[in-house]
Amino acid sequence: MAKEKFNIDTILAHRSDELNIGLGVSLGHSVSQGDLSEGQWIRFLRSFLPHRYDVSKGFVFDSKGGVSEQIDIIVFDRFHSPLIYETDNGEKYVTAESVYAVFEVKQEANKGFVEYADKKIQSVLDLHRTRRGIVVAGEARPPRELTHIIGGLLTTNSVKSGTLCGHIERSANIDMACSALTGTFHKGADGKVTYSDSGEAVFAFFFLLLNELYKLGTVGAIDIQEYADRSLKSFSLERGEV
């Protein structure tokens, strides 16, 4: 007997239903506590992103002592991000060089929250990011250029799609948004925003985020020496070829 074909649409529909239930969509109301919404989105992202990525709420900091505003969701490199500090409620402090994407979580996507998210994202973009070469198969390679940090907004509901497109187009830092009840929105290289149907909101976000992350590749190596120079008073690291 032939095996039944694997149906990715069915799997994604199940994931979408789980997220919607967590957000209270299927119950006819959204969850009232922001932390609950953040937790649902974080669990959803962790459920499908490759293990090279980690997802957490918290703060982003740099080697010069700069710190971002509190960020609802940070997508960062799991393998090249030193864990400096984590609070008792699970907020992590993530080095600026390790960040792939940051998202603000709200109940509704509207003009005010788009502008609010834009400022939150800017607080991350304003941080200093170091660069350092790496050694591959015994050969020193120069530092790679800094990668773009994806900025986004995740919500349960939103204003009308056409209206939200205009708000996102006028935003300097929002590259994508997902409203579970409305659709997924993406700002292209030309600055124009396209969006999915409401029924494909979560599906579209799943594929869009993966595609954008794959286009970024791996974040560049962090120059831990710059962090050490700021922190160490009686000891210094030896600087090599990279």
Enumerate the active-site residues.
72, 104, 106
Torsion of CA 76, 209, 197, 188, to 10 degrees: 110
CB-count burial class (<10 Å; 0-12, 13-18, 19+) for 54: buried
Among candidate residues 168, 195, 167, the one with its CA nearest the CA of residue 182: 195
The one-letter amino acid at 157: N
Reading the block at residue 198, the tokens are 């409401």
Pick from 195, 198, 219, 227: nearest CA to 208: 195
CA angle in degrees (0–180, nearest 5) for 61-66-70: 55
